[in-house]
């Protein structure tokens, strides 16, 4: 069974001007979507904290948003002014909550805490003693933990006598825990997880380390949701929690764009060496054409652009290149087989011969991607959507973009060289005849 009967010839090149116009409209429209409505960057690229919560009973998205906007943080103000609340498809009462805040501890709060912990040159408490002066105070990027180091060792207290039923180590830990809890209570802009938030770790050959667990942004979000909805509706714990800093997100976004650009450049070089220099521009334009339209479709439909999307775009770049290479390979074969045909006729013949193979392969891929798009999770759906658009557009561009551009390059550049060579040979022959 054949989708396209063998030997059937299509005049693709005769309609190339109409498809040039269609491609121009699609590409320009995709570029416009980069500004209006613009890309919807995911947490990977934008930075922020993201929670997925499962409520025990049905709730409205507006009620969830209202609960988050009313949360009072440790800083005494509203930190979550523009939360994003999205219902998770096919998951009853599941919501994805995203806020731009990453750390629950502001820079001013970090400075105030460092001063209270005696880790400051000025404005430190008067009762700071050398034993209570740390050598390091470090805040975790997500604001969920403070690490404090002291230059004394708990292991040195192991052999001291027991007083009032407690060893010297136990007394030291109790004293230090009380001191840290008292100082943390005096600091503004921070909230401890609970009264057991201080953990003192002793090392035999190193200094002593203290870890203080704070209420991170995710903890504050969950606390606000529980306080607003109550235990009968609010979940006990989030399904998942993710966070990434704004600086890291910007670096990821920049690296993602670089990776796409490098991939396009390497592919162009490969085509130039694999076939002929005249084939490289068509492959490059076709590749950029497919990538722009795929990303434009993401922007137009409001789908989130994240790391998985970039992976899908790179996959599209590699997959759509396959169709282009197949057509190019057949054109190169036919250049030697049919020397009497013009280049447009060779493009028509090669694309017609490979059309059946292309349709069978790509329709199989499209069927698989459609199932992922319908039944997959949200991340898989976004990946499948990019691949689906890229596969459809790539099938179109390998015929109506790559081939016609290659023909134009051959006509505009290489045909002129051939003509000049013929003229040069003709003049040389005339001079030779004149000498004779």
Tell me the pLDDT tens digit for each residue of 158-178.
Answer: 555 554 556 676 777 777 777
Confidence at residue 188, expressed as pLDDT on a 0 to 100 scale:
63
In the chain, pLDDT over 90 holds for what percent of residues? 4
Confidence at residue 206, expressed as pLDDT on a 0 to 100 scale:
61
Average pLDDT over residues 46-75: 79
Identify the weakest region by mean pLDDT among 11-15, 53-57, 143-147: 143-147
Confidence at residue 190, expressed as pLDDT on a 0 to 100 scale:
66
Assess whether pLDDT exceeds 80 at residue 142.
Answer: no
Structure confidence at residue 203 as a pLDDT band (50, 70, 90): low
Structure confidence at residue 68 as a pLDDT band (50, 70, 90): confident
CB atoms within 10 A of CB 70: 12
Assess whether pLDDT exceeds 90 at residue 103.
Answer: no
More confident of the two residues 72 and 233:
233
Average pLDDT over residues 259-280: 75
Domains of the chain, first to last = 13-41+245-427 (1.20.1640.10), 48-103+218-244 (3.30.70.3220), 107-214 (no CATH)
Structure confidence at residue 102 as a pLDDT band (50, 70, 90): low
Confidence at residue 205, expressed as pLDDT on a 0 to 100 scale:
54
Confidence at residue 322, expressed as pLDDT on a 0 to 100 scale:
80
Structure confidence at residue 76 as a pLDDT band (50, 70, 90): very low
Assess whether pLDDT exceeds 90 at residue 25.
Answer: yes
Whether residue 304 contacts residue 42, with contact meaning beta carbons closer than 8 Å, is answered with yes
pTM for this predicted structure? 0.64
Structure confidence at residue 398 as a pLDDT band (50, 70, 90): confident
Confidence at residue 26, expressed as pLDDT on a 0 to 100 scale:
92
Confidence at residue 186, expressed as pLDDT on a 0 to 100 scale:
67
Confidence at residue 421, expressed as pLDDT on a 0 to 100 scale:
45
In the chain, pLDDT over 70 holds for what percent of residues? 78
Assess whether pLDDT exceeds 90 at residue 28.
Answer: yes
Assess whether pLDDT exceeds 90 at residue 195.
Answer: no
More confident of the two residues 153 and 23:
23
Structure confidence at residue 423 as a pLDDT band (50, 70, 90): very low
Average pLDDT over residues 306-316: 82
Mean pLDDT, the chain, as a whole number?
Answer: 77
| Range ranked top by mean pLDDT from 78-87, 185-194, 251-260 | 251-260
More confident of the two residues 425 and 211:
211
Rounded CA gap, 165 and 174, in Å? 13
Average pLDDT over residues 6-19: 82
The length of the chain is 436
More confident of the two residues 44 and 10:
10
Assess whether pLDDT exceeds 70 at residue 81.
Answer: no
Confidence at residue 156, expressed as pLDDT on a 0 to 100 scale:
59
Assess whether pLDDT exceeds 90 at residue 92.
Answer: no
Confidence at residue 400, expressed as pLDDT on a 0 to 100 scale:
86
Sign of CA dihedral 361, 367, 368, 369: positive
């Amino acid at each position: 069974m054949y989708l396209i009967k063998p030997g059937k010839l299509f005049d693709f090149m005769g309609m190339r001007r109409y498809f040039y116009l269609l491609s121009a409209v699609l590409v320009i429209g995709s570029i416009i979507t980069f500004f209006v409505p613009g890309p919807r960057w995911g947490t990977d690229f934008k930075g922020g904290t993201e929670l997925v919560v499962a409520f025990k009973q049905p709730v409205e998205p507006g009620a969830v948003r209202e609960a988050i906007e009313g949360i009072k943080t440790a800083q005494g103000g509203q930190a979550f002014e523009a939360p994003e609340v999205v219902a998770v498809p096919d998951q009853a009462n599941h919501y994805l909550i995203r806020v731009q805040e990453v750390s629950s501890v502001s820079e001013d709060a970090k400075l105030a805490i460092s001063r209270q912990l005696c880790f400051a040159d000025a404005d430190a408490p008067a009762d700071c003693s050398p034993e209570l002066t740390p050598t390091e105070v470090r805040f975790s990027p997500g604001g969920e933990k403070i690490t404090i180091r002291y230059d004394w060792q708990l292991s040195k207290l192991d052999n001291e006598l027991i007083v009032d039923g407690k060893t010297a180590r136990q007394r030291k830990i109790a004293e230090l825990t009380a001191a840290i809890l008292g100082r943390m209570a005096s600091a503004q802009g921070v909230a401890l997880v609970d009264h057991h938030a201080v953990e003192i770790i002793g090392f035999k050959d190193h200094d002593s380390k203290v870890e203080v667990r704070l209420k991170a942004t995710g903890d504050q979000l969950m606390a606000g949701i529980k306080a607003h909805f109550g235990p009968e509706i609010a979940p006990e714990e989030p399904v998942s929690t993710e966070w990434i800093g704004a600086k890291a997100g910007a670096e990821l976004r920049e690296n993602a764009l670089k990776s796409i650009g490098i991939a396009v450049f390497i592919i162009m070089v490969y085509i130039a060496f694999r076939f002929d220099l005249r084939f490289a521009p068509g492959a490059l334009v076709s590749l950029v054409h497919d990538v722009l339209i795929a990303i434009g479709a993401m922007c137009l439909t409001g789908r989130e652009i994240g790391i998985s999307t970039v992976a899908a775009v790179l996959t599209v770049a590699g997959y759509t290149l396959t169709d282009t290479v197949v057509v190019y390979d057949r054109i190169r074969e036919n250049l030697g087989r049919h020397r009497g045909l013009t280049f447009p006729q060779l493009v028509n013949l090669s694309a017609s011969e490979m059309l059946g193979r292309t349709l069978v392969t790509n329709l199989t891929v499209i069927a698989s991607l459609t199932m992922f798009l319908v039944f997959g999770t949200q991340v898989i759906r976004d990946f499948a959507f990019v691949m689906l658009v890229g596969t459809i557009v790539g099938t179109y561009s390998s015929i109506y973009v790559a081939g016609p551009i290659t023909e134009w390059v051959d006509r505009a550049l290489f045909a002129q060289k051939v003509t000049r060579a013929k003229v040069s040979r003709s003049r040389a022959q005339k001079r030779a005849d004149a000498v004779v």
